[in-house]
Amino acid sequence: MNDYSEKGLLPAGLADMLPPAARQESAISETLMRVFGANGYLQVTPPLIEFEEHLLEGSGAALASKMFRVMDPVSHRMMGIRTDITLQVARIATTRMKQDPRPLRLSYTGQVLRVHGSQLRPERQFAQAGVELIGSTETTADAELILLVREALIALEIEEFTLDLTLPNLVPTICKELGIDPDTAKSAREALDHKDAAELTKYDPELSSILTALLKAAGPASQALDALAEIDLPHQAGQQIEELRQLVIHLADAAPGLELTIDPGEYRGFEYQTGLSFTVFARNVRGELGRGGRYLLMDGEPASGFTLFLDSLMRAVPRHVTSDRLYVPFGTKLDQCQGLRKEGWKTIVGLSPESNVNDEAQRLHCSHVYHADGIQKIS
Amino acid sequence: MNDYSEKGLLPAGLADMLPPAARQESAISETLMRVFGANGYLQVTPPLIEFEEHLLEGSGAALASKMFRVMDPVSHRMMGIRTDITLQVARIATTRMKQDPRPLRLSYTGQVLRVHGSQLRPERQFAQAGVELIGSTETTADAELILLVREALIALEIEEFTLDLTLPNLVPTICKELGIDPDTAKSAREALDHKDAAELTKYDPELSSILTALLKAAGPASQALDALAEIDLPHQAGQQIEELRQLVIHLADAAPGLELTIDPGEYRGFEYQTGLSFTVFARNVRGELGRGGRYLLMDGEPASGFTLFLDSLMRAVPRHVTSDRLYVPFGTKLDQCQGLRKEGWKTIVGLSPESNVNDEAQRLHCSHVYHADGIQKIS
């Protein structure tokens, strides 16, 4: 009648999340939203699909090739399935919440879909959760976000993580101040990002010397800041480094154990960021846990935010084996069952008389059995 | 540069959920998953899109016209965006979880999309949460589900609700046992569902008399059961009524205050149900809160389940005004802020020195201000 093996087949990059993973993902999302909420971030939930031109505006254009499109039979206009939630939250901040007082703190969690997976993230559907802090240019705003990432990861019991800080706009600023032409500036930026030391020597001597020094400066934050201080940078670039230094001082004061590195030339994946940005990694976990940084809303308002990827977080979160599945024999009164649930048990209630209660409990993968004279652990 | 009023425009039936609604919806979903989990239901999360033929198999065919379709550039096959999660969970139960012991208890929560809204539910995207109980034909399974709906609604502080029980297969069974031809059977079923008393008299006298009696029997459960007991039904139909009676006795015993009604001829919206089904309503709330019932998996395995609609639940859940937004002045130490959050405050921390702390707190819609000498309520 039906080919069940085929029925189980899903398109590449899409998967059924089974127990206990599905529950774990939900729990991670709940924890994040609780931590974000406790820090004053208000949750918004944009729709999964909307008119494609709104999803592709501004920095969204970069995601065009990743977006599924569907025709809306109601409006006869094309709609897109979101590939990212940040831009939708930014849209909300500039439209329906334009009148709300700044700084505006918003949070979100939800699924995104992409036409193609990437090498590092082959999944075509995954959950994101994050925040946007809108309307402040203060370094304290960047610090708040980084400390919020830290608080969220600690709440998830992820203890060993690193924050890699970058200034995606640093090299473009230097080149502009040195009067370098745009093509050369672009190639210089790429060469530094690729850490191509040989290539970096091929530019105008002043630029080459700065780029080579920036390359060498990358590393643990305090060490990197010392190296950056030695570089003779043009004014605006120097200011960016000074702000970075202020941020690192602030963070070291607030959270002394926080592991920070600086890679001043990195910009891939931060194409629409306009200032301090960061990536979060966990020790021994494939893929980044999240990323964030400064950007501008469509109307020029300053903003900063970060997104955490729930699939990466699931690989980083410690697993706890629970033993709270309690078999409750057939015929047990509802009041009794509810009492056990209130105590924290997950009750599995018999639907028909058992020939052997303990065997039935074991068959249903329960850890404990409820008997009139008490709860018994299953060996 | 951009038309912001237009930017806020979303396709009909799709909406941004803003504060506090978005948080409220998440909280409802969390509460439901907690209650389902405490009752032994294991969460699964199927993908938002999958090959369309799997979404359209069996009873899914009824949803074909409601489904958005996209081409998968990887497999060059058509995929559909799910319009319902029940069928996906049923697919998981018959494939990847086929070897898991029965009864299998699964739960889910997630978004679904529909090409067109309906008159009662104009939304084209909405969240569902529900459970499936797979592999049992016992009346205790139906009872477990109904009591679980009750437990979930009570956990959501929805006190005034009604469960309307129906037997969508009753009239077809009667007609088959009386040897009525399929076309007449179909029209008789529709006439009863439409409560068309005049039409009901036009059939074979025995059938007409039964249908008229069924129509009159609809009402509060105990009264309806008395009326149904008076009807001279063929054997199998009589058995269905007997099972319904057993269920009502079980429910009245377990949850005496539960408000139950019976409408034995209703079947619209239960086209793929094969046995006892139900709809849940809340007093003074537009639209049903949820519905459920018995059905068969693709491989013939018996199952029963229910789905709750989060948009309807949001209209039914009482609103609580919270006053826990605490403004924390610029420069307050992180430890201090974290301590306040642990106490349950939602902290909004100043990013720059305030000229007047209380004014700033008020501007940011905070209910309280933190001062070194204590927490002050904002008048």
Look at residue A58 and tell me whether its pLDDT is greater than 90. no
Residue B55 with chain A: CB contacts under 8 Å: none
A8: nearest CB among B17, B79, B95 = B95
Residue B130 with chain A: CB contacts under 8 Å: none
Look at residue B368 and tell me whether its pLDDT is greater than 50. yes
DSSP H stretches of helix in chain A: 4-7, 21-38, 52-56, 86-94, 139-155, 170-178, 182-193, 197-200, 205-217, 221-230, 235-254, 310-316, 334-342, 357-363
Mean pLDDT of B64-91: 93
CATH code linked to domain A17-159+286-320: 3.30.930.10
pLDDT tens digits, A187-200: 999 999 999 999 99
Q: How confident is the model at residue B120 (pLDDT cuts 50, 70, 90)?
A: confident
CB contact under 8 A, A298 and B325: no
pLDDT tens digits, A2-13: 444 455 589 999
Residues in chain B: 379
CB contact under 8 A, A81 and B79: no
* For chain A, domain boundaries: 17-159+286-320, 170-266, 325-377
**B129: which residues sit within 8 A by CB, 6+ positions away?**
B28, B29, B32, B33, B36, B107, B108, B109, B110, B307, B308, B310
Order of strands, edge to edge, in the sheet holding A277-282?
Answer: A42-43, A104-113, A125-134, A302-309, A290-296, A277-282, A161-166, A260-262, A219-220
Residue B255 with chain A: CB contacts under 8 Å: 334
CB contact under 8 A, B140 and A352: yes
> Which of B126, B134, B351 would you mutate first to test chain A, the one with the most A CBs within 10 A?
B351
CB contact under 8 A, A325 and B40: yes
Q: By CA distance, what is B330's nearest residue in A?
A: A140
Tokens for B329, please give them.
């002045």
Q: How confident is the model at residue B64 (pLDDT cuts 50, 70, 90)?
A: confident
CB contact under 8 A, B125 and A50: no
Residue B2 with chain A: CB contacts under 8 Å: 57, 298-299
CB contact under 8 A, A16 and B45: yes
CB contact under 8 A, B4 and A94: yes
Q: What is the number of helices (H) and of strands (E) in chain B? A: 14, 16
Residue B7 with chain A: CB contacts under 8 Å: 54, 57, 91, 94-95, 298
Q: How distant is the alpha carbon of residue B3 from its chain centre?
A: 38
CB contact under 8 A, B101 and A42: no
Look at residue A269 and tell me whether its pLDDT is greater than 90. no
Mean pLDDT of A321-342: 96
Tokens for A225, please give them.
């800041």
Tokens for B132, please give them.
């499936």
Mean pLDDT of B44-65: 87
Look at residue A1 and tell me whether its pLDDT is greater than 80. no
CB contact under 8 A, A45 and B68: no
DSSP state of B213: H
Residue A256 with chain B: CB contacts under 8 Å: none
CB-CB contact of B163 with B261 (8 Å)? yes
CB contact under 8 A, A44 and B22: yes
DSSP H stretches of helix in B162-220: 170-177, 182-193, 197-200, 205-217
Look at residue B136 and tell me whether its pLDDT is greater than 80. yes
Residue B345 with chain A: CB contacts under 8 Å: 38
Question: Can you tell me which residue has the tokens 């240019």?
Answer: A137
Q: Rounded distance, CA A45 to CA B88, Å?
A: 24
Residue A298 with chain B: CB contacts under 8 Å: 1-2, 4, 7
**What sign has the CA pseudo-torsion A96, A101, A107, A113?**
positive
DSSP state of B45: B
User: pLDDT at position A6, please?
Assistant: 54
CATH code linked to domain B17-159+294-302: 3.30.930.10
DSSP state of A286: S
Residue B377 to chain A, least CA–CA distance (Å): 17
> Which of A23, A249, A301 would you mutate first to test chain B, the one with the most B CBs within 10 A?
A23
> Maximum CA pair distance of chain B?
87
The SS3 call for residue B307 is strand
- The chain-wide mean pLDDT, for chain B, equals 94
Residue B372 to chain A, least CA–CA distance (Å): 18
Q: Is the backbone peptide bond immediately before A19 cis, with ω within 30 degrees of 0?
A: no
Residues in chain A: 379
In order of A195, A224, A274, A292, the CA distances from A280 in angstroms are 20, 18, 18, 9
B138: nearest CB among A73, A97, A352 = A352
Burial annotation A316-353 (CB, 10 A radius, 16+ → b, else e): bbeeeeeeebbbbbeeeebeebbebbeeebbbbbbbee
Contacts made by residues B190-198, CB under 8 angstroms, sequence distance 24+: B192/B265, B193/B265, B193/B266, B193/B267, B193/B268, B195/B265
Mean pLDDT of B137-143: 97
Question: Can you tell me which residue has the tokens 């109307």?
Answer: A299
Question: Can you tell me which residue has the tokens 């009864």?
Answer: B103
CB contact under 8 A, B23 and A40: no
pLDDT tens digits, B146-187: 999 999 999 999 999 999 999 999 999 999 999 999 999 999
Cα-only R_g, chain A: 26
Q: How confident is the model at residue A322 (pLDDT cuts 50, 70, 90)?
A: confident
Residue A354 to chain B, least CA–CA distance (Å): 13
Look at residue B326 and tell me whether its pLDDT is greater than 70. yes
Q: How confident is the model at residue B3 (pLDDT cuts 50, 70, 90)?
A: very low
Look at residue B5 and tell me whether its pLDDT is greater than 50. no
CB contact under 8 A, B14 and A96: no
B57: nearest CB among A2, A5, A10 = A2
CB-CB contact of A106 with B30 (8 Å)? no
Mean pLDDT of A341-364: 97
CB contact under 8 A, B299 and A4: yes
Residue A207 to chain B, least CA–CA distance (Å): 35
